[in-house]
Amino acid sequence: MTSTCENQTVPLNMETLAVIDFETTGLSPAMGARATEIAVVLIRGGVIVDRYQSLMNAGVYVSGFIEQLTGISNAMVRNAPSAAEVMAAAADFIGDTPMVAHNASFDRKFWDAELGRIQRRRSQNFACSMKVARRLFPESPNHKLGTLVQYLGLPDSGVHHRAMADAEMTAYLVVRMQAELMQRFGLNHVLHKHLCTIQSASSVKLEATMKRLQKAI
């Protein structure tokens, strides 16, 4: 297990969060794109406590552009378990654990589409680490995952556009943001529902939003 908060003196909450990342053949399942890889990282108390990762064979072609971007080839997905098998395993692994993704609208669409193909449905909400980061770190050059990792000095595997590497970096970012929120606003814990509230707030109204959360926590 890897902690990103060894020097963090404020106790982190013990809620488990499931951080997910997909690699895909395109931008949207509505345009025929399918998932080629998924990774799930479970975090609790500021540390990674479990992981799941698999390539998946959805029976679709991986373009040269996508192969160059991700390193995932047609041969790799051809030899991978079926998308149905992988999605069933990932869904069982996550259960009803609250979910987080960076640019969550992208991963949520693929999660829902691939899950729907095996007649299953999501029961929990997604929090978006990119939206929370925009409100918490407006001074960052941009809010792409790689930029935030570098800006905040988070662990970086040096591998990008592979599901596990991106899921782990997102997990480190989430833990960092939880710690930042607790320190900056005097909170004793930050739950998934609080991240969802913050991501929906206007950047200029973060202070007012946090005052309301302080009263509610």
Query: Do 78 and 30 meet the contact criterion of CB atoms below 8 Å apart?
Result: no
pLDDT of 210 reads: 78
**More confident position, 171 or 184:** 171
pLDDT at 4 over 70: no
Name the band, by pLDDT with cuts 50, 70 and 90, for residue 5.
very low
The answer to which of 108-122, 170-184, 194-208 has the lowest mean pLDDT is 194-208
pLDDT at 175 over 50: yes
pLDDT at 6 over 90: no
pLDDT of 204 reads: 67
The tens digit of pLDDT for each residue in 7-44 reads 344 345 589 999 999 999 999 999 999 999 999 999 99
The pLDDT > 70 percentage for the chain reads: 91
Annotate the chain with three-state secondary structure. CCECCCCCCCCCCCCCEEEEEEEECCCCHHHCCCEEEEEEEEEECCEEEEEEEEECECCCCCCHHHHHHHCCCHHHHHCCCEHHHHHHHHHHHHCCCCEEECCHHHHHHHHHHHHHCCCCCCCCCEEEHHHHHHHHCCCCCCCCHHHHHHHHCCCCCCCCCCHHHHHHHHHHHHHHHHHHHHHHHCCCCCCHHHHHHHHHCCHHHHHHHHHHHHHHC
Q: Hey, what amino acid is at 189? A: H
With the C-alpha atoms ordered 74, 76, 81, 86, is the resulting torsion angle positive or negative? Answer: negative
Which residues have C-beta within 8 Å of that of residue 165, sequence separation ≥ 6?
Answer: 157, 159
**More confident position, 6 or 174:** 174
The answer to which of 76-85, 111-120, 197-206 has the lowest mean pLDDT is 197-206
Topology adopted by domain 17-216:
Nucleotidyltransferase; domain 5 (3.30.420)
pLDDT at 106 over 70: yes
Query: Do 29 and 113 meet the contact criterion of CB atoms below 8 Å apart?
Result: yes
pLDDT at 141 over 80: yes
- pTM assigned to the model: 0.89
Name the band, by pLDDT with cuts 50, 70 and 90, for residue 208.
confident
pLDDT of 194 reads: 92
pLDDT at 149 over 90: yes
Tokens of 66: 């996508």
In the chain, where are the structural domains located?
17-216
The tens digit of pLDDT for each residue in 61-98 reads 999 999 999 999 999 999 999 999 999 999 999 999 99
pLDDT at 129 over 70: yes
Q: Hey, what amino acid is at 14? A: M
Which residues have C-beta within 8 Å of that of residue 125, sequence separation ≥ 6?
Answer: 98, 99, 192, 196
The answer to which of 65-79, 82-96, 135-149, 188-202 has the lowest mean pLDDT is 188-202
